[in-house]
């Protein structure tokens, strides 16, 4: 069992990145540990209430990933700037399982990782 860290910087729907990340993470979770760090615009991904008409619901996919064991963390500076406040890591506007923690978590994730994938448009 190895560890994969995925770094995202795009929000949902604006690019294919979030969806690709889900496909990669799903495949990786079968045999490996998966970390996902949501950075810059990617902090919008776990927002609740997403209701896309012609696209798959990206938020739900990340919620599922978290419940399937992926560790998903968001950058607090990026999140606060964009209007997501957290108390002890928990943001009321976020879907369950995804926490707003610290940018240092990114460094920790990288240190413990065997492989890294950053996706952005």
* Nearest distance from C-beta of residue 17 to another protein, angstroms: 8
What is the footprint of another protein within residues 10-29 (CB under 8 A)? Answer: 13-17, 20, 23-24, 26-28
* Nearest distance from C-beta of residue 28 to another protein, angstroms: 5
Whether 21 contacts 8, CB under 8 Å: yes
Nearer Cβ to another protein (68/96): 68
Alpha carbon separation from 83 to 65, 76, 88, 103 (Å, rounded): 24, 10, 16, 17
By CB under 8 A, name the binding residues for a second copy.
Answer: 11-14, 40-41, 44, 47-53, 55, 59, 77-78, 80-85
110 binds another protein (CB under 8 A): yes
64 binds another protein (CB under 8 A): no
Name the β-bridge partners of 74.
Answer: 38, 100
Total of chain residues touching another protein, rule CB under 8 A: 41
Say how far apart CA 12 and CA 45 lie, in whole Å: 5
Say how far apart CA 79 and CA 105 lie, in whole Å: 14
């Amino acid at each position: 069992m190895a560890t994969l860290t995925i770094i995202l910087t795009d929000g949902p729907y604006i690019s294919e990145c979030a969806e690709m990340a889900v496909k990669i993470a799903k495949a990786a979770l079968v045999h490996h540990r998966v970390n996902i760090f949501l950075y810059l615009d990617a902090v919008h991904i776990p927002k609740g209430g997403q209701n896309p008409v012609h696209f798959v619901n990206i938020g739900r996919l990340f919620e599922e990933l978290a419940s399937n064991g992926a560790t998903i963390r968001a950058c607090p500076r990026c999140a606060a700037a964009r209007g997501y406040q957290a108390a002890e890591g928990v943001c009321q506007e976020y879907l369950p399982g995804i926490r707003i923690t610290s940018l240092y978590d990114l460094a920790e994730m990288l240190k413990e990782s065997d492989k890294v994938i950053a996706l952005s448009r």
